[in-house]
Each structure stands twice: as structure tokens, then as C-alpha cells.
């Protein structure tokens, strides 16, 4: 079950990511050819927003978000567990707030059209509550599995960057 869920999410994220690259390329080629396809820019940005939020959730599940564990590493195990639980609760509250206000924002934007693509801007704003909701599930799941002893309760991130 959880394997399929992950696979679908990864597939969609890759699809949106690849679409972003292709749409930007279409925009560049048509502009150089003298017939700019302006819609490609709006669609590229919309696709990228979805790729970003899905990627953020996948990264969260893979523990790939940057964190500083210099101090925490020196704490005793029990303290680290408590801290991880507290932070997960805080993240859950934060994500719930984002889902709430993000949904409101999306409902406000149903009527607004994206520049030249003729699509509702709500398609873009919906990415935020949707992404926050997916991350909410990820954090809830981790907290639940941690508290019931199914996995080690920690935030173990990687110090990842691309700079």
C-alpha cells in the first residue's frame, strides 16, 4: 500500500518536473522562431509549483531536508526522542494551518485566470494546501510509527545542498 502511494507520488513529481523542462524549452524555441507560445511560461510555472510541493513531500519521507544536528547529536537518546516528537507535533500544527489558509486562498482564486493560458489560477494555489496535506500525512505517519515503536523516532535529516 505505502509502496504504491510513494510510487504514484514519485511518478507525478517526475511528470511535472519533466513537463516544466519541456514547456520552458517550447517557450524558448517558439520565441526564437518568432511565434512565442506565451502560454508555455504560465504552464511551466504551474507544473513547477506541483513538482516542488510533491518533491518537498518525497524529500520529507526520504529524510532529505536540511537540518542542523550538531548539538542534537550529543543529546542522550531519550531527549532526542522527546525533541523529535515535539518537533513533529509542531510541524503538524504548522502544516494544518497551511492547509486551512491555503484552501481558503484557492477558493478565492477559482475565478482568477492565469495570464495567457486560460486556466484558473486556483490550479496553482491548490498546490500549496495539497502539498501541505501530503506532508501532514507524512509527519503524522512518522509520529504514529515512532510513538508505537514501529520505527525509531527521529528527524534524522541529511545535510543536503546543491550549491
Partner 1 sequence: MTPILTAIFLVLMFLGMPVAFAIGIAAIIFYLFGGMIPPAIAVQKIVSATQSFPLLAVPLFVFAGHLMNEAGITSRLIALATVLTGWIRGGLAQVAIVLSALMGGVSGSAVADAAMEARILGPAMLERNYTRGYSAAVIAVGSLITATIPPSIGLILYGFLGNVSIGRLFVGGVVPGILMTFILMGTAYFIARRRGYQPELMEKPTLGEVGRNVWKSLWALLFPIILIVGIRYGIFTPSEAGAFAVAYAIVIGALVYRELTWQKLNHALGQSVIDTGMIMLIIMFSAMIGYIITLEGVPQSATAGIAALTTNKYVTMLLLMALITLLGMFLESTVIVLLLTPILVPMVTRLGIDPVHFGLVMMTTTTLGGMTPPVGVAMYTVCGLLNCSIEEYTLEALPLLLAVIGLIVVMVFVPEIVLWLPNLVF
41 sits near partner 1 (criterion: CB under 8 A):
yes
25 sits near partner 1 (criterion: CB under 8 A):
yes
Q: Indicate which single residue of 1, 34, 35, 70 sits in contact with partner 1 (rule: CB under 8 A).
A: 70
72 sits near partner 1 (criterion: CB under 8 A):
yes
Q: Render the burial of 35-65: b for 16+ CB within 10 Å, e for the rest.
A: ebbebbbbbbbbbbbbbbbbbbbbbbbeeee
C-alpha span between 8 and 17 (Å, rounded): 14
Give the x-and-dash track for 129-148 against partner 1 (CB under 8 A): --------------------
33 sits near partner 1 (criterion: CB under 8 A):
no
62 sits near partner 1 (criterion: CB under 8 A):
yes
101 sits near partner 1 (criterion: CB under 8 A):
yes
6 sits near partner 1 (criterion: CB under 8 A):
no
C-alpha span between 162 and 63 (Å, rounded): 16
68 sits near partner 1 (criterion: CB under 8 A):
yes
**Interface residue list for partner 1 (CB under 8 A):** 10, 13-14, 17-18, 20-22, 24-25, 27-28, 31-32, 41, 44-45, 48-49, 51-60, 62, 64-72, 80, 83-84, 87, 90-91, 94, 97-98, 101-102, 104-105, 124-125, 127-128, 155, 157, 159-163
Amino acid at each position: 500500500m505505502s509502496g504504491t502511494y510513494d510510487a504514484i507520488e514519485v511518478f507525478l513529481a517526475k511528470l511535472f518536473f519533466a513537463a516544466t523542462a519541456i514547456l520552458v524549452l517550447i517557450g524558448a524555441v517558439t520565441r526564437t522562431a518568432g511565434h512565442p507560445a506565451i502560454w508555455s511560461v504560465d504552464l511551466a510555472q504551474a507544473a513547477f509549483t506541483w513538482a516542488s510541493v510533491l518533491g518537498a513531500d518525497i524529500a520529507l519521507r526520504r529524510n532529505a531536508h536540511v537540518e542542523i544536528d550538531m548539538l542534537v547529536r550529543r543529546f542522550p537518546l531519550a531527549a532526542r526522542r522527546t525533541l523529535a516528537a515535539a518537533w513533529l507535533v509542531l510541524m503538524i500544527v504548522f502544516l494544518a494551518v497551511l492547509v486551512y489558509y491555503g484552501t481558503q486562498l484557492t477558493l478565492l482564486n477559482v475565478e482568477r485566470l492565469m495570464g495567457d493560458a486560460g486556466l484558473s489560477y486556483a490550479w496553482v494555489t491548490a498546490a500549496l494546501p495539497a502539498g501541505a496535506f501530503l506532508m501532514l500525512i507524512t509527519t503524522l505517519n512518522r509520529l504514529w510509527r515512532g510513538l508505537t515503536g514501529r520505527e525509531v523516532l527521529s528527524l534524522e535529516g541529511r545535510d543536503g545542498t546543491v550549491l
